[in-house]
C-alpha cells in the first residue's frame, strides 16, 4: 500500500500548477520530505518559492484538494517552511484535509 499511495500522492501533487510559472509544484521542488507510512499517514514539507510568495495560499488550497481525493491517505501532516505566515498556512492545510467519514 505504501508504495502505491506514495505514487498516487506524487501524481496528485504533480497536478498542482503554479499559475505564475506554469510549472507543477513537484518540478519546482516546493515539496520536500514526502513519506507515507503503512497506516496511510502522509508527512511532507511545503516550501513556497519565497517567504512572501503571493501564490502560497492558492497552492495550499489546491494541495489540500488533491490530497483529500486519495482514498488510501488517512491522515496528513504538512509542515510549512520558508514562509512568512507558515503557522497560519499550516492551520489551513490541516483543517478538514482528509475526509473523516468511512469511505466505500
pLDDT tens-digit series, residues 19-68: 999 999 999 999 999 999 998 899 999 999 999 999 999 999 999 999 98
Question: Mean pLDDT for the chain?
Answer: 88
Rounded (10°) angle between helices 56-68 and 2-13: 140
Domain boundaries, the chain: 2-94
CATH fourth-level superfamily of 2-94? Fe-S cluster assembly (FSCA) (3.30.300.130)
H or E stretch covering 42: strand 41-46
Cα dihedral 41/73/4/47 (nearest 10): -70
The pTM score is 0.86
Amino acid at each position: 500500500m505504501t508504495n502505491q499511495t506514495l505514487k498516487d500522492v506524487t501524481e496528485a501533487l504533480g497536478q498542482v500548477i503554479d499559475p505564475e510559472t506554469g510549472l507543477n509544484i513537484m518540478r519546482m521542488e516546493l515539496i520536500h520530505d514526502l513519506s507515507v507510512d503503512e497506516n496511510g499517514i502522509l508527512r511532507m514539507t511545503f516550501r513556497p518559492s519565497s517567504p512572501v510568495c503571493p501564490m502560497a495560499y492558492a497552492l495550499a488550497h489546491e494541495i489540500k484538494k488533491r490530497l483529500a481525493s486519495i482514498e488510501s491517505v488517512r491522515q496528513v501532516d504538512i509542515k510549512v517552511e520558508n514562509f512568512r505566515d507558515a503557522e497560519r498556512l499550516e492551520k489551513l492545510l490541516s483543517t478538514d484535509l482528509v475526509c473523516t467519514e468511512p469511505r466505500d
